[in-house]
Chain A
Amino acid sequence: MRCTHAEKLIPLFVGGDLPAREADALRRHLESCANCRRLAAEFEESRDWLRGFAAPQFDEATLDGMRDSVLRDIGRIEYRARWFQWIVPGWNLRFVFVTSLALLLFGALFSLAINRRQPPHNPQSNQAGMKQGGGNQVELSPGKTPDDQVNNDKHIASGKTVRRKFGRKPIKPGPDESPQTEAGMIDPDLTAQATDTTEPAIDQSAGLDPANTDSDANRNMLRIEIQTADPNIRIIWFAPKSDAAPRK
């Protein structure tokens, strides 16, 4: 054993805190090393000095006063506990925990019930709207005129609830749709009102040529209208339906 290691073990050795094997090894080292032996003797002296440290004798009056204070405090605690028991019989932590859990559960159920009571939205109106093409476009029920559309816009401006569709739907005109509705969609005044910009506005809508509604060929055509900056000029483009998908 080296002295550096022995120096670390000596404080524990003098107090009898070393395991037997290590204590034996240190004892053998101490027999051969005078410096470590001297260090061990100093630690033993210090230990004896510490063990001679007696606590002061507390007189009976101090101890009685302390005991009385404890009993008085206990009496106060018991009185408070009795008062709580009067308010809530069987008052304890478990009771508090269960009560708060029950209240939380009740609150959650109550809010769930309120949410369920709200009226469901009308799916029919949605379906009607789905049939109209276009992105952020105000829905038109079948048979409504563009004037109704303008009225709808006014409703929006005045803050009244009007349903809007925000998703771009695939262009697919149904066979039962009237040509008047499609014609309404391309009313020049209405389009000009909606696109008051210097850039040409593109109105891509599915529909049939009102002039050729009975033609089978036209039914399979996609009509794309482009409103130029000049309100009097509009480009109308017919494309076969297979080309309806946007090209990149």
Chain B
Amino acid sequence: MEIALMAEKIEGHDGRDCDGAVTATARLIIRAKAGDKTAFDQIIINHQRKVISLAWRMLGNREDARDAAQETFLRVYKSFGRFDPAQDFNGWLYRIAVNACRDLARKRRCNHYSLEAEVESGGIAEPASPHNTESAAMLAQEHAILLRALAALPEKERAAIVLRDLEGFETEEVAKILGSSPTTVRSQISAARVKIKAFRERFLKRGKR
């Protein structure tokens, strides 16, 4: 009875999909909370790509992104007992991921990116057309600039802009994930957009010279 109620609560909050995927997630969460390792493994499989992508956008480095994703799932496991089924699981997961990224960034003080290191490690996205080497190089360069622009932002502004503009969360959801008010998030997003625009313009001017 209790499990059924919990599933209902989770479904009620994640009710964006109507194809039964939410029900499956809710059931997985309940089983994982009860200590089912297979269910937890399935939760990792379902969310690992999203979490590792977010971590990469926050940290700009493959190794750190992998470590942050690992730490995120470990924290999820440890605090599953405290997870309230009335909460949105995705929001809760993203909040843990953002905090794990922040902690890792503070620990390693990796506030600047090395373009060469990123290219060597394959962090820069592969070109759309492997035959057109010139456009591939340009795309790689643009990605590197974007990474550097994000890296230049303060930690909170970076988290806000990544969640709003790259992960596609609403401002209110971003505020919940970051544990601040929507007004604060709006001001952080606004400041981040201004800085990114300025960074891009500076790069374009340098390219023209």
Contacts and interface: CB of A to CB of B under 8 A. Distances in A.
A110 interface: no
Nearest to A74: B77
A90 to B, nearest CB: 15
A15 B78 CA distance: 36
Contacts of B57: 53, 55
Contacts, number: 96
Interface stretch (B7-15, B23-31, B95-103, B189-197): B189-197
Interface residues of B, number: 41
B113 to A, nearest CB: 13
B141 to A, nearest CB: 13
Main secondary structure of the interface of A (DSSP, over half): helix
Nearest to A12: B190
A157 interface: no
B159 to A, nearest CB: 14
Contact of B69 (A66, A73, A74): A66
Interface string B44-76: 110011001100110000100010011001100
A14 B193 contact: yes
Contacts of B5: none
Contact of A66 (B66, B77, B126, B143): B66
A54 B49 contact: no
Interface residues of A, number: 30
Given A63-B52, A69-B70, A53 B193 contact: no
Interface stretch (B83-91, B130-138, B164-172): B164-172
A8 B194 CA distance: 10
Nearest to A43: B197
B126 A57 contact: yes
A49 B196 CA distance: 10
Interface string B181-209: 00000100110011011001100000000
Contacts of B69: 66
Contacts of B49: 58, 63
A11 B165 contact: no
A5 interface: no
B40 interface: yes
Interface in A41-80: 42-43, 46-47, 49-51, 53-58, 62-63, 65-67, 69-71, 73-74, 77
Interface string A70-109: 1101100100000000000000000000000000000000
A62 B53 CA distance: 13
A55 B77 contact: no
Contacts of A153: none
Interface of A: 8, 11-12, 14-15, 17, 42-43, 46-47, 49-51, 53-58, 62-63, 65-67, 69-71, 73-74, 77
What are the 10 closest A-B residue pairs judged by CB atoms, nearest first? A55-B53, A46-B197, A11-B193, A11-B190, A70-B73, A53-B146, A67-B44, A12-B190, A55-B56, A54-B125
23 contacts: A11-B193, A11-B197, A12-B186, A15-B165, A17-B186, A17-B189, A43-B193, A49-B146, A50-B166, A51-B165, A53-B57, A55-B57, A56-B122, A56-B123, A66-B48, A66-B66, A67-B41, A69-B70, A70-B44, A70-B73, A71-B41, A73-B70, A74-B74
